[in-house]
């Protein structure tokens, strides 16, 4: 599926070819602190299927508890997280942040990771009071 997107301020724009079956959310504590939210929503995409159309993201190097380094790319102007990748041999995969994609409504998560650190209100979210706008 062809998608395109941008950071919130619009200075960084991209397009990608993604498989909707590879959309996931991650409840790990690193994703919680980097997103400032309860979980990360992402889709894994081959490096060759991802193109930056404009702008230049900034990189934050994250080191995991196990010592692995990942490159976390974000917009230096508006701070939107855009994608991340790990140092690996062979072809790279980018974990694209789905909230930046124009087609995000069609990219429903198919799997969840690090459920052991998920917030305990996730399963009751549908029962909380909703407002159509702020
Ligand atoms: Zn931006
Ligand atoms: Zn995570």
Per-residue confidence band for 121, with pLDDT thresholds at 50, 70 and 90: very high
pTM, to two decimals? 0.92
In this predicted model, what pLDDT tens digit does every residue of 34-70 receive, in sequence order?
999 999 999 999 999 999 999 999 999 999 888 889 9
- 134 contact partners, CB below 8 Å, separation of at least 6: none
In this predicted model, what pLDDT tens digit does every residue of 56-108 receive, in sequence order?
999 999 998 888 899 999 999 999 999 999 988 888 999 999 999 999 999 99
Task: Give the CA dihedral 8, 13, 19, 23, nearest 10 degrees.
Answer: -20
Nearest ligand to the C-alpha atom of residue 58: 1
Nearest ligand to the C-alpha atom of residue 12: 1
Q: How far is the CA of 61 from the centre of ligand 2 (A)?
A: 14
Q: What are the residues whose beta carbon lies below 5 Å from ligand 2 (ion)?
A: 26, 28, 31
- How far, CA to CA in Å, does 31 sit from each of 27, 28, 116, 117? 7, 5, 13, 10
Torsional sign, CA 75, 24, 64, 29: positive
Q: How far is the CA of 46 from the centre of ligand 2 (A)?
A: 19
Q: Domains in the chain, please, with CATH?
A: 2-119 (2.170.150.70)
Nearest ligand to the C-alpha atom of residue 81: 1
């Amino acid at each position: 599926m062809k998608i395109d997107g941008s950071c919130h301020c619009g200075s960084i724009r991209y397009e990608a070819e993604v498989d909707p079956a590879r959309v996931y959310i991650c409840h790990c504590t690193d994703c919680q602190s980097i997103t400032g939210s309860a979980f990360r929503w992402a889709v894994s995409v081959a490096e060759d299927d991802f193109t930056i159309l404009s702008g230049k993201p900034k990189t934050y190097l994250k080191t995991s508890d196990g010592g692995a380094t990942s490159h976390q790319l974000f917009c230096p102007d508006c701070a939107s997280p855009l994608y991340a990748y790990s140092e690996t041999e062979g072809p790279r995969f980018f974990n694209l942040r789905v909230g930046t994609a124009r087609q995000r409504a069609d990219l429903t998560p198919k799997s969840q990771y690090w459920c052991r650190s998920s917030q305990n209100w996730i399963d009751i979210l549908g029962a909380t009071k909703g407002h159509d706008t702020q």
